[in-house]
């Protein structure tokens, strides 16, 4: 009975270790995807002139957040909020032929895209940390199972009289 329990514990440890590895792998894969997509766009918004001179591009969470914040500041020069933008229009509605409306909504779309990138990097970090925790827990469970299994092998046989 103890031997079966030890085997079940070891299997659970291996499964947890494997799932942790999968989470970490998915996190790395999605991080690489986001970085590749950001680099392909060659965005430098929010970077310093020294960073731009070195050829740096927006390609991480912090830089994407700075880019989103910079866009938000630029949008503020058109209107403080979308409601303010609409209130400034004669009919109170979005007008795609109005250059201010069009610029504002395009900037808003870009700002939201950068905010989603920041969110994506955050989810990736959570996924990788969860994977690492699962792997550590799995390793601990596996080691407990090995100890139980070895104890069972070295324990004297129970007296069946």
Write out pLDDT tens, residues 101-142: 999 999 999 999 999 999 999 999 999 999 999 999 999 999
| Number of domains, the chain | 1
**Domain range for residue 83?**
2-153
Q: What is the mean pLDDT of each run of 10 residues along the chain (161 residues)?
A: 89 97 98 96 93 94 95 93 90 90 94 97 98 98 94 67 55
**Torsion angle of C-alpha atoms 106, 108, 109, 113, degrees rounded to 10:** 140
In a domain, 23, yes or no: yes
The answer to whether residue 86 is domain-embedded is yes
Contact 17, 143 (CB under 8 A): no
9 belongs to a structural domain: yes
* 159 falls within a domain: no
Query: Tokens 């079940």 appear where?
Result: 8
């Amino acid at each position: 009975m103890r031997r079966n329990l030890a085997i079940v514990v070891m299997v659970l440890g291996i499964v947890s270790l494997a799932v942790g590895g999968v989470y970490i792998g998915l996190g790395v894969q999605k991080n690489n995807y986001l970085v590749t997509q950001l680099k392909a766009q060659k965005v430098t918004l929010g970077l310093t002139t020294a960073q731009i001179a070195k050829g740096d591009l927006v390609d991480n969470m912090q830089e994407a957040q700075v880019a989103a914040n910079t866009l938000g500041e630029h949008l503020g020069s058109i209107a403080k909020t979308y409601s303010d933008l609409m209130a400034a229009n004669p009919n109170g509605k979005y007008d795609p032929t109005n250059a201010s409306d069009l610029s504002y909504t395009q900037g808003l779309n870009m700002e939201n895209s950068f905010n989603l990138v920041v969110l994506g990097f955050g989810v990736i970090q959570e996924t990788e940390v969860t994977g690492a925790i699962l792997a550590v827990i799995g390793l601990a469970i596996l080691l407990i199972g090995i100890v139980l299994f070895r104890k069972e092998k070295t324990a004297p046989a129970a007296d069946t009289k």
